[in-house]
Chains A and B, each alone.
Chain A
Amino acid sequence: MLLIDCPYCGMARPEIEFAYGGEAHIARPADPSAVSDEEWAHFLYFRSNPKGALAERWRHIFGCGRFFNCLRDTLSDKIIATYKAGESRPDLGAEGAERRQ
């Protein structure tokens, strides 16, 4: 079971308090009728599914109820960082590499 740091509540809570929201930073096209079927399919269904760092959404349903983002290594399941919705994905620099140890 993961221990997830909710950036709004400011504390680590067990995974069963949260609901998973899939890959993060997938923006809905601003004008859906302007994009091709191909682009719409990619927005709806196609995912990066990486073996490594993944930015994903979680919702603290049995806590504050808010959506936030999480950067996690999908091979080790280690959480690298959590950050508030609307913030950009943290840069995996030296600090990120260190926290993955």
Chain B
Amino acid sequence: MRFSFVNVALQALKHNSGWPEQWRNPEPKAAYDAIIIGAGGHGLATAYYLAKEHGLTNVAVLEKGWLGGGNTGRNTTIIRSNYLWEESAALYEHALKLWESLSQELNYNVMYSPRGVLMLAHNMHDVQVGKRHVHANRLAGVDNEWLTPEEAKAFCPILNIARDVRYPVIGAALQRRGGTARHDAVAWGYARGASARGVDIIQNCEATAIRRDASGAVSAVETTRGAIAAKKIGVVAAGHTSVVMAMAGVRMPLESYPLQALVSEPVKPMMPCVAMSNTIHAYMSQSDKGELVIGAGTDAYMSYSQTGGLHIANHTLEAICELFPTVRRMRMLRNWGGIVDVTPDRSPIIAKTPVPGLFVNCGWGTGGFKATPGSGHVFAHTIARGEPHPLAAPFTLDRFRSGRLIDEAAAAAVAH
């Protein structure tokens, strides 16, 4: 049933008792044309575009927990496309353009809010890097502009631009089309759209092994709910990509780290935009519920613990208190961690692998949420055609051999 004015009104008369389930909960079939491992935003978007744009509807999405329960539900929901290199700017801008019409596309309100993303500079190095990003982005057709501290404060009134603090704000880059979206709704919207087109989303079904035939090509995934055959397998397992790829005997250029976030008690609207600081390492926005959503850094060491050290979160809160003194007495409600897979050049891998039929979409590191629609869109193309989408072509596994790295360490915004 579509969400429309008429249906909302009719359902209201029936005390909202007539809404159907948003996606089916099927038993796995013995075989599919393609299997996606991981039902997060990226995996569900991949399945959605496989069904919608490539006519591949005999697809299963396997999820060891519940859909959207991993990093999709743990991120700080920031969307922007102000990356330095042309390859990345094109990929993230592709995603941003899809965000702009995603609610209409999915007939599901993903609450995309282009409220602007401020990236603060605290020293000359920040200013030089920030301005270089602004110029590179404008040449690539991506909006980004440079603000003085006074202009930044006019845009974000609670920002502290005093000169006598440890890390004064001396400038900021602003991407006005950047913003936030509701992360759960993105997973739910794609799940609903994919399921309606025939994709089976199979939750509580953990992949335990990947079978390969005599030629070396993939033939099936063994799961906790039995073996499921498929000639094409797409791995979209975020922090656990190395673990899943090892099932097919493929070693990855990845390391998995815990990344933390926090939310405060809910308050009235006080934070009109997203502000982030790479140097003192903090970023903050306000959810529509009123909670301040705060992103912290990764731990120093790789881990799968989904927690992260308290001193990391503490460091971020110190920075937040200096940037936004008005929040000093607020209490934090929740603090959690997710496991992110980081590549050596901080750019993703959306590619074929040395194993025939096996595809991988990983390495989004600390900033994958913003790319969700674009990532799914180009990965679906890569799986369906067996050749990379033009926008995904630079993001191969082979770049680590050839040396054509896409170094986005400065744009990643999270200090590693």
Contacts and interface: CB of A to CB of B under 8 A. Distances in A.
Contacts of A28: none
A1 B311 contact: yes
B65 interface: no
A77 B299 CA distance: 12
Nearest to B341: A49
Contact of A54 (B240, B302, B400): B302
Interface in B285-331: 300-305, 307, 309-311
Most buried by B among A19, A20, A46: A46
B252 interface: yes
B402 A74 contact: no
A74 B254 CA distance: 14
Contact of B300 (A19, A37, A74): A19
Given A1-B310, A19-B300, A41-B400, A76 B305 contact: yes
Contact of B243 (A19, A37, A51, A76): A51
B301 A1 contact: no
B316 to A, nearest CB: 15
B344 interface: yes
Contact of A75 (B253, B301, B304, B400): B304
B251 A48 contact: yes
A83 to B, nearest CB: 17
A56 interface: yes
Contacts, number: 71
A45 B402 CA distance: 12
B401 A49 contact: no
B242 interface: yes
B242 A49 contact: yes
B305 A74 contact: yes
Interface string A12-51: 0001101110100000000000000110111011111111
A60 to B, nearest CB: 13
A15 B299 CA distance: 11
Contacts of A1: 309-311
Contacts of A92: none
B76 to A, nearest CB: 23
Given A74-B304, A74-B305, A38 B401 contact: yes
A2 interface: yes
B200 interface: no
Interface residues of B, number: 24
A45 B251 CA distance: 10
A46 B255 contact: no
B305 A77 contact: yes
A42 B354 CA distance: 14
B303 A42 contact: no
A77 B303 contact: yes
Contact of A42 (B251, B254, B302, B341): B251
Nearest to B311: A1
Given A1-B309, A54-B302, A41 B401 contact: yes
B150 to A, nearest CB: 37
A74 B309 contact: no
Interface string B247-260: 00001111110000
A20 B300 contact: yes
Interface in B233-281: 240, 242-243, 251-256
Interface string A53-79: 010100000000000000010111100
Nearest to A52: B304
Contacts of A37: 401-402
Contacts of A42: 251
Nearest to B258: A77
Given A44-B400, A46-B400, A56 B301 contact: yes
A47 B400 contact: no
A51 B253 contact: no
A50 B253 CA distance: 12
Contacts of A19: 300
B301 A46 contact: no
Contact of A49 (B256, B300, B307, B309): B256
Given A1-B311, A15-B300, A77-B303, 12 more contacts: A2-B301, A15-B301, A38-B401, A42-B251, A46-B252, A49-B302, A49-B341, A50-B243, A56-B301, A74-B302, A75-B304, A76-B305
Closest 9 pairs (CB-CB, A-B)? A49-B242, A45-B253, A41-B401, A20-B300, A45-B400, A41-B400, A45-B344, A51-B304, A20-B301
22 contacts: A1-B310, A1-B311, A15-B301, A19-B300, A20-B301, A22-B255, A40-B401, A42-B251, A45-B344, A46-B253, A46-B400, A47-B255, A49-B243, A49-B252, A49-B255, A49-B341, A50-B242, A54-B302, A56-B301, A74-B302, A75-B304, A75-B305
